[in-house]
Structure 1
């Protein structure tokens, strides 16, 4: 079975590279893919273009400071289409605004982390994400089926009109 996919929605290449290095250092069995803005994220999550027929990512990691459509708005768009068991979503952000975590929590995030300055702390947090990934003997789709949350229609497309 292929390693589960973690979709990281982050515009800064250095932050994407650091997250990918933390995944490797943590020993997490996952493949990291990237979307640098909301449009690319919607294409991936709606399984358009080259993503047709591919399963949803096992986990989405979202930065709030995206260019254009902000991360909190994208979070709302994703949560309108997919519930937390269909697409677990965690926030990894540089934002230090106290209300961000509360606002994101109201939209059903699984975890919230301000980007740490210490790489070892990032590795520990990344390792904790393992609980959101399917085990090696089940696919993400099987995990969702067992949880009883798979939408019979295959999920609702994300509303690109809100972008």
Structure 2
């Protein structure tokens, strides 16, 4: 693989579903320092995430995400509910969903994979380790993995 193979022609469209301002800031910082051009869109709860994906209301012009980073612990509609809805919907099923959460509970990990999460990452408490985790995620998902094309006719 040569250097040009590791970069996308268009910015990656990422949807971060996260309610913790500190984690949002660290994630933004990690992606800004990364090598992959991206547009990071942030919503703070499950209802907003579904509105973004369905392009409703203020999200009428929202892009289809190439990948979703989903916290499990959200106000209102929780991350597991969102994950289940996304993977049950043929329009959104092919979008990779990465659970990015503070929980390292075995039952949360098992349940996320049962609901067809594509990966499960536990947020490190240390800010530098958190940024390093996001960078490793970015390198893997946007330089190594082939993401599905946007489906024109669903």
Q: Flag structure 1 segments of 5+ consecutive residues without an equivalent.
A: 154-163
Find runs of 4+ consecutive structure 1 residues off by over 6 angstroms: none
CA distance in 1, matches of 2:153, 2:142: 21
Query: What does residue 149 of structure 2 align with?
Result: 144
1:112 aligns with 2:112: no
Flag the 1:133–1:55 CA change in 2: closer, same or farther, 3 A: farther
Q: Mean alpha-carbon deviation: is it higher for 45-54 or for 26-35?
A: 45-54
Aligned length: 142
Q: TM-score, normalised by structure 1?
A: 0.75
Q: Which moved more, 1:3-12 or 1:126-135?
A: 126-135
Normalising by structure 2, report the TM-score. 0.79
The answer (yes or no) to whether the contact 2:16–2:68 under 8 Å persists in 1 is: yes
Work out which of the residue numbers 125, 129, 134 in structure 1 matches 2:138.
Answer: 129
Aligned match for 2:13, one of 5, 25, 33: 5
RMSD: 2.5
**Structure 2 regions of 5+ residues with no counterpart?**
1-8
